[in-house]
Amino acid sequence: MAKIKKTGFSLHPDGVFSAQVTAVAEVDSINPDWSPQFQVDFETEAVDDSGKQMTIPYFVTQKLTDQSKLGQLLKVLGFDVRAMANGQEFDTDDLIGRRCRIVVEHQERNDGSTRAKVTAVMPPNDDDDDGIPF
């Protein structure tokens, strides 16, 4: 028999954070009627109880148009979506390491628990220009 220790869960704090894309993965939608999505993981300057930088997921559809959530994300991360030809492929690995700012809001679920959700993605603050992502 294996023994494990329960650990605490650190909810990402709410507010505006500098962030960097650390991973992009294809995931199924929680609703089977919806299109597949990408999970974009952002690492922020927020730290958990153990001092480790926190990550938070952000979900976008896999549809790339000027107005789609994915298209809007690409624009914020510095890609010129309008200059892309229809049918042109985009490698999601090119998002890794891109910087931005995110808005995280706490939302209460139906079961009474609280979740942290990315509600907006904005261009990074480049006024410090020190090369440090946070």
Confidence band, pLDDT 50/70/90 cuts, at residue 134: very low
Q: pLDDT tens digits, residue range 9-44?
A: 789 999 999 999 999 999 988 788 888 899 999 999
Confidence band, pLDDT 50/70/90 cuts, at residue 130: very low
Domain chopping of the chain, boundaries: 15-122
Cα 58 from Cα 41, distance rounded (Å): 6
Q: What is the distance, to the nearest Å, from the Cα of residue 46 to the centroid of all Cα atoms in its chain?
A: 14
Q: pLDDT tens digits, residue range 50-99?
A: 889 999 999 999 999 989 999 999 999 999 999 988 888 999 999 999 99
pTM over 0.75: yes
CATH number of 15-122: 2.40.50
